[in-house]
Every structure is written in structure tokens, then in C-alpha cells.
Amino acid sequence: METVQELIPLVKEMIAQKPSRRLVKVYVLGGVLALFGVVLVLVETVCKQHEATLCSRALSNRQHAS
């Protein structure tokens, strides 16, 4: 939420300066890439937790089998 509060004045300042279309496209592209990076990190975190759970179950099953 703090980040959103920091972005609002930045957006207001950008609108007041009337940036060119090209500059707006660069900002949008940067924002999309940042969001894509966040999604990738979240997916990786969830997958690693799931993988760790599967590995611990497999190890547990091996110990019980022997």
C-alpha cells in the first residue's frame, strides 16, 4: 500500500508534464515487465515449496520401506 501512495504523486507529476506517447509506452513496458517478474518469483516460490514437500514425502516413504 505504501508503494501505491508513492506512485500517485509520480503519476500526477507525469500527467502535468504531458509526456510524449513514446515515453508513456516505455513506462508501461517497464511496469508490465516488473509485474511479470513478480509473478515469476511467486510461481517459483510456490513450486519450490511444493517440490520440498514431495521430496520429504519420498524420503519418508523410503525410510519406512527399508
Tens digits of per-residue pLDDT, 32-47?
A: 999 999 999 999 988 8
Enumerate residue ranges in the chain where pLDDT < 50: none
Residue 46: the pLDDT is 85
Helix then strand then coil, % of the chain, to nearest 5: 90, 0, 10
Count CB neighbours of 11 within 10 A: 10
pTM of the model: 0.56
Q: Which three cell numbers stand for residue 12?
A: 500526477
d(CA 5, CA 50): 34
